[in-house]
Amino acid sequence: MRLALWALMAVSLSAAAQEDGTTELIGQMGSRAALLTLHATRNSDASWQLAGEYVLLPTQQRRFLEGESSPEIGVTTLREGDTPILFGRPGSGELRGLWRDGVFRGMRYAPGGQERERFEFSESFPSLDGYSGSVRCEARGGGYTGSLSYAVVAGKVRSFEWRSRIEPGSASCNVANLAQQAMKGGLRLVSGRCQVTLRDLGETLRVAAENCSEQCAAPAELVAMLVDRRGGCELFRPQAR
């Protein structure tokens, strides 16, 4: 009965992109908010090979995923585990669903096949076009300190500076004077290859950097930050549990 229902629902897979790449999706795993990241590679038979993870946002608990999407019926099956290498190791669950038109929804199953919880993720993040906020905060952990300062008015970034340092030692990062670029479902700032994005995750904003190594003295890095609605921040360092 369930297989027949999937067959009736499916038309063709609309994966994250029409070519290889990485896609983030925001949504719910059961009653908990979650962030899903999937890396897609096209197979020779036109199916998609997928690998990635989802993070339960309230606890920053990370679970790793790998699997496939079928182009014929649009069904996506992802094996779940507690480590990045899932081959030969016991899984902690399985996600079975349909990924189409930018939405991935279905059911999470226990290793024995019992239904655990429904999930639904969307590639469409909330718009930050109307967001205004002034933030100056600091977060620490494990010898790392991150300092963030920005001002945004109606979706326009007026100022932005992000610093970090590693202790002991003097290795640090400093990212500032970035130019804002158009972005659907968030705010994007760039300077050369360095890119910083702000995304609305519901209870918090996530500030993340990519390709910013030239702004850092090794081994310093920019660890993603979560900014709450009061302007406080914490490090976004998901852990497998």
Are 90 and 71 a contacting pair, CB within 8 Å?
A: no
What would the two tokens of residue 2 be? Answer: 């369930």
| Cα within 13 Å of Cα(175), Cβ side | 34
The residues, ordered by sequence, that sit 6+ positions from 117 with a Cβ below 8 Å of its Cβ are 29, 30, 31, 107, 108
Q: Check residue 11 and give its pLDDT.
A: 36
Instruction: For residue range 149-207, list pLDDT tens digits in order.
Output: 999 999 999 999 999 999 888 899 999 999 999 999 999 999 999 999 999 999 999 99
Phi and psi angles of residue 230, each rounded to the nearest 5 degrees, phi first = -95, 0
pLDDT band at 1 (very low <50, low <70, confident <90, very high): very low
Instruction: For residue range 204-241, list pLDDT tens digits in order.
Output: 999 999 999 999 998 999 999 999 989 999 999 998 76
What's the topology of domain 2-122? Lipocalin (2.40.128)
Q: Is 178 exposed, middle or buried (0-12, 13-18, 19+ CB in 10 A)?
A: buried
- pLDDT for residue 5 is more than 60: no
The rounded distance, in Å, linking the Cα atoms of 58 and 65 is: 19
Residue of 233, 231, 236, 234 whose CA lies nearest to 135? 231
CA dihedral 200, 135, 140, 171 (to 10 degrees): 100
Residue ranges of domains in the chain: 2-122, 133-240
pLDDT band at 13 (very low <50, low <70, confident <90, very high): very low
Pairing of strands 61-69, 239-240: parallel
3-state helix, strand, coil in the chain (%, to 5): 5, 55, 40
Instruction: Output b/e per residue, 3-36; b: 16+ Cβ within 10 A.
Output: eeeeeeebeebbbbeeeeeebbbbbbbeeebbbb
